[in-house]
């Protein structure tokens, strides 16, 4: 199924690249959430192509708790920098990833 321009992809299982993004964003997510996470494992994700890529990532944080990250990755000519845009902390592992 083709992706709509500006829309998000279907949810996919997290891979090593997405876990690496989560590892880099963990301290920023902890700061925004106001707490530390012993578990921080990427479970699934969606992407959205903009002037770079938005990643919407479901992260397992222990028990049935998850949070959702929105991470922006700039284009290669801009250094492919990662920026944590926002965090949704009141999620369970059954909550679908939605655009936010």
Q: Which domains does the chain have, with CATH numbers?
A: 38-100 (3.10.450.10)
In this prediction, residue 24 carries a pLDDT of 96
CA distance 40 to 64: 12
Task: Judge contact between 68 and 97, C-beta under 8 A.
Answer: yes
pLDDT tens by residue, 66-86: 999 999 999 988 888 999 999
What global pTM score does this model have? 0.89
pLDDT tens by residue, 11-20: 999 999 999 9
Q: Which residue has the tokens 């936010």?
A: 100
CA distance 5 to 66: 28
Q: How confident is the model at residue 5 (pLDDT cuts 50, 70, 90)?
A: low
């Amino acid at each position: 199924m083709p992706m709509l321009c500006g829309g998000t992809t279907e949810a996919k299982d997290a891979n090593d690249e997405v876990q690496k993004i989560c590892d880099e964003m963990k301290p920023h997510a902890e700061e925004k959430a106001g707490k530390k996470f012993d578990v921080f494992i990427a479970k699934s994700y969606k992407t959205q192509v903009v002037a770079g890529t938005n990643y919407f990532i479901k992260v397992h944080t222990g028990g049935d708790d998850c949070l959702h990250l929105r991470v922006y990755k700039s284009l290669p000519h801009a250094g492919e920098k990662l920026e944590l845009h926002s965090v949704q902390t009141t999620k369970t592992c059954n909550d679908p990833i939605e655009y936010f």
